[in-house]
Structure 1
Amino acid sequence: MNCPATHLDSVAVEADAPIGAAEVLARARSARVYDVARVSPLDEAPLLSARLTRRVLLKREDQQPVFSFKLRGAYNRMVQLDAGQRARGVIAASAGNHAQGVALAAARLGIQATIVMPVTAPQVKVDAVRRLGGNAVQIVLSGDSYSDAQATAAQLQAERGSLFVHPFDDIDVIAGQATVGLELLQQHPGPLQAVFVPVGGGGLLAGMAACIKSLRPEVQVIGVQMVDSDAMARSLEAGERVLLGEVGLFSDGTAVKQVGSLNFALCQRHVDAMLRVDTDEICAAIRDIYQETRSVPEPAGALALAGLKQYAAAHPPAEGALVAVVSGANMNFDRLRFVAERAELGEQREAIFAVTIPEERGSFRRFCAALGKHSITEFNYRIGDASSAHIFVGVQIASRDEREALVAAFQAQAFDVLDLTDDELAKLHLRHMIGGRSPLARDELLYRFEFPERPGALVRFLDQLHPDWNVSLFHYRNHGADYGRILVGIQVPAHELVLFQRFLASLGYPHRNESDHPAYRLLLGS
């Protein structure tokens, strides 16, 4: 998905910034981060540099002791607590990486910490918090997102009187994260065109932008967000902080519904542009980082590189290197299957088509001729009726031009073709379900649902399905992600549609009606 950049030079300012770049810079220079953090490498990326025809560098925050930059801000905040504050202990809310920083700081400084994490937090992060904090840390699992965990943490703070260590909206946390920018400038005094920074709540972007713009104002600072977790981009476009109703959970480290007020004000003044990327682009960037470093970043850790690649595709080469911050590597191993499946699509190296050919002698030969010498990545076939056959096919490609050429080749053979390469329903579900028309599936409605992935979640979903409506189609696959995705066909007579809509509202899960989806009508619908 090639989303246009949000350029910020003309964005209205919500209010005077409570802190300025000079203060961030001064605090960053005196930050105590190196009690626990290390100066992370700034590595060359030769494969990407050759492919993008410009110099690409990776700032390797995935090599920190907690495999994320977050310990910088957490420790810098906690090391400055006085004796009374330390005695009362601290509370934090985090999807995982900030939690690890707080846990390490608590153990090092002898402070008792309660850390609230979403139930959807990757197990690798929960285990790491427990290991790093030891007896100094109590873990509370609550809610499905960072915002839910934060609400629980606020309640506990009110009860206990402990200090809340915010993951991003705190000047000392921002200053700690800003040291990434200071290191980068010291490591690369030569020409820099742009620095790409992943964005959730905005602590890293605000701190790095304030320092880089103070010392090297000619360098562009560009934030990168997921298309479904773009609170900072929307806020900067609106000129005020925006609260998102829902956030995507694939990039759990940046799944924040509202950015911090300090972070927002600093980003308004010092960030040049924002980019949005999708899941496939992140998966492709994860693979790129692995090929360059043999390290596997988490989705948030690959956000910046996905944005860098999008930027490079839209802008001609210019003087100076492009730098992406690899912000973390706390990846659940079972998520790699999903990443591998989607990386080819994110790199536009695979195209997916549904092709209808006449059921007659020679048709299949003409179909194969239209494919030419392209490698087949997936092939599903089932006869449609006496006159036609439907084929679902995945094809390796080298560029978007090849994809368009394949469509033209199919059309030249008078085949009907649907290009499904950018179609989420096809990529998640239909590619695994080809050939399922049924004369018994009368009054079938097709819906997609998403729900937080946790033990027993699928069973609870099934328990809530109305017993009076027959389930005529069901597809679920565990993708190793933080949320499950289900495709359901439910037979609902026309006179019960109003009741069915009430049922959907009562479920409380995000859902989408796919009953008119063209690929469903072609391949599965009755």
Structure 2
Amino acid sequence: MNYFPNIENIRKAAGTISAVADTTPLLDSIRYSKLYNANILLKREDLHRVRSYKIRGAFNKISSLSAQERQKGVVCASAGNHAQGVAFACNHLGIKGTIYMPSVTPKQKVEQTEMFGGDWVTIVLEGDTFDDSSKAALQFCEEHQKVFVHPFNDPKTIEGQATVGLEAIHQSKKTIDYIFVAIGGGGLAAGLCGVFKALSPTTKIIGVEPAGAPSMKTSIENGVNTELVQIDKFVDGAAVQRVGDLTFEICKDYLDAVITVPEGKVCQTILDLYNRDAIVVEPAGALTIAALDQYAKQIEGKNVVCVVSGSNNDITRTAEIKERALLFANLKHYFIVRFPQRPGALKEFVAEILGPTDDITHFEYSKKSSKENAPAVVGIELKKPEDLEPLIARMKENNFFGDYLNNKPDLFQYLV
């Protein structure tokens, strides 16, 4: 494992991808700059025609293939964004591609991949995670002797992704003190290591992973590339069970830190970016901005770049995003409420148990017995987190309290 991205190869990659990928803007964020008393810049990789940086690595890799390899066709596995980059490259270069995607991939990403690939690509939905799809794709690739276009664990892919850093350095008016980068398999982070260690060695590179899929952080802590047994797939663009061997070796030596962000915090950041900045991002695209509060003291007065990696978000996920944000903020709570089986019990609960600003958002009840009390699953949204304890106290005092579900994940998932 002696590979390290060479700056000359990265510059060559920049020339290659210029045919299909415009330079993305590095924009000042007035709101976040004021919030953190720093110069916060957003590298808007969400503004590519495929709405993520993945087109850089995919096009650079596929462009490097020989005529014989192109004739055989290519195969890839992806949770969505790399698939779109490969699909676009296949269509642009006239190369047949087979694209494996997890069965849980948001519909929007599947449809976009079909659109970009046209008649040149075939999509296969396989497995529940990227890793499941990847195993199936590799097997198909071997059986049919096609070229596998890896989303992160390939030098050409890494060098293509690295052009993000090359652009950022040229665009920034001052030396970049910190750059925050989302990590899924580690291709972009590894590429940035190559760029900044060569051109701006004082820049601190901070990798950011979702708390439910900390594969790079875990691997670095263990000192060996480690496959996670279970992951939360919500941040689908950055949820892999095992990072690349190449990217791990680079990141463990050259990243300044790897931190994690709770999925609920990511969701709140998505909502804030949409409501306050008119920026649409997918969960992985919000990771770097959601991590800034963990470095609030270190970045004060500094020049900071956050890579906004993509905007392929499915609008049908909005309800789940809002729900996760409210749960993270301690504003959404679920209970088993035991209602006395007598007329007026619900009216009493609403009038005397709920606070004046509490709102029922979920109610599931069915009278199935003649018992004294019957349970209902009730979801309540609060205005302030501190309203929770008084609410529980009133429930208990009036014999309505059955159980609190938020801290019982198994029961929560089953009932809610």
Q: Counterpart amino acid of 2:99?
A: I
What's 1:90 paired with?
74
What's 1:344 paired with?
326
- The one of 388, 404, 407 equivalent to 2:389 is 407
- The one of 389, 394, 402 equivalent to 2:380 is 394
SS at match of 1:116: strand
* CA 144–365 in structure 1, closer or farther in 2 if over 3 Å, else same: closer
Question: 1:49-101: per-residue Cα shift (whole Å, max 9, x none)?
Answer: 44444443322111111111101000011112122222222111112211111
* Structure 1 residue 191, shift from structure 2 partner: 5.0
SS at match of 1:195: strand
Structure 2 residue 29 is the aligned partner of structure 1 residue 45: yes
Identity across matched positions, percent? 35
Q: Counterpart amino acid of 2:217?
A: A
- For residues 334-483 of structure 1, the aligned pairs below 5 Å read 334-346=316-328, 348=329, 350=331, 352=333, 374=357, 376=359, 378=361, 394-397=380-383, 403=386, 407=389, 424=409, 430=415
- For residues 277-296 of structure 1, the aligned pairs below 5 Å read 277-296=261-280
* CA 94–419 in structure 1, closer or farther in 2 if over 3 Å, else same: same
What's 2:245 paired with?
261
- The one of 160, 181, 193 equivalent to 1:209 is 193
Contact 2:215 2:226 survives alignment (8 Å): yes
Contact 2:36 2:300 survives alignment (8 Å): no
What's 2:92 paired with?
108
Structure 2 Cα separation of the partners of residues 132 and 298 of structure 1: 19
* Structure 1 residue 192, shift from structure 2 partner: 3.7
- The one of 279, 285, 289 equivalent to 1:305 is 289
Q: Give ranges in structure 1 of 5+ residues lacking alignment.
A: 1-16, 433-526
Structure 1 Cα separation of the partners of residues 331 and 390 of structure 2: 16
* Structure 1 residue 115, shift from structure 2 partner: 1.6
Question: 1:22-59: per-residue Cα shift (whole Å, max 9, x none)?
Answer: x1x22111111211111112223333344444443322
Contact 1:197 1:222 survives alignment (8 Å): yes
SS at match of 1:189: coil
Structure 2 Cα separation of the partners of residues 422 and 409 of structure 1: 16
Contact 2:269 2:289 survives alignment (8 Å): yes
SS at match of 1:144: coil
Structure 1 Cα separation of the partners of residues 408 and 227 of structure 2: 27
* Structure 1 residue 240, shift from structure 2 partner: 0.7
What's 2:143 paired with?
159
* CA 80–423 in structure 1, closer or farther in 2 if over 3 Å, else same: same
Structure 2 Cα separation of the partners of residues 282 and 172 of structure 1: 30
- The one of 324, 327, 331 equivalent to 2:313 is 331
Structure 1, 330-339 or 230-239: larger mean CA deviation: 330-339
What's 1:129 paired with?
113
Q: CA RMSD in A?
A: 3.5
SS at match of 1:319: coil
Structure 2 residue 226 is the aligned partner of structure 1 residue 242: yes
Structure 1 Cα separation of the partners of residues 113 and 375 of structure 2: 54
Structure 1 Cα separation of the partners of residues 351 and 170 of structure 2: 56
Q: Counterpart amino acid of 1:42?
A: L
Structure 1 Cα separation of the partners of residues 76 and 374 of structure 2: 60
Structure 1 Cα separation of the partners of residues 65 and 339 of structure 2: 75
* Structure 1 residue 388, shift from structure 2 partner: 12
Q: Counterpart amino acid of 1:271?
A: L
SS at match of 2:92: helix
Count of residue pairs the alignment pairs up: 405
Contact 2:212 2:263 survives alignment (8 Å): no
* Structure 1 residue 20, shift from structure 2 partner: 2.7
* CA 318–84 in structure 1, closer or farther in 2 if over 3 Å, else same: same
Contact 2:39 2:301 survives alignment (8 Å): no
Structure 1 Cα separation of the partners of residues 378 and 62 of structure 2: 56
Structure-2-length-normalised TM-score: 0.84
* Structure 1 residue 289, shift from structure 2 partner: 2.0
- The one of 209, 215, 220 equivalent to 1:225 is 209
SS at match of 2:31: helix
Contact 1:370 1:406 survives alignment (8 Å): no
What's 2:343 paired with?
none
Question: 1:346-379: per-residue Cα shift (whole Å, max 9, x none)?
Answer: 3x262537599999xxxx9999899877554648
SS at match of 2:312: coil
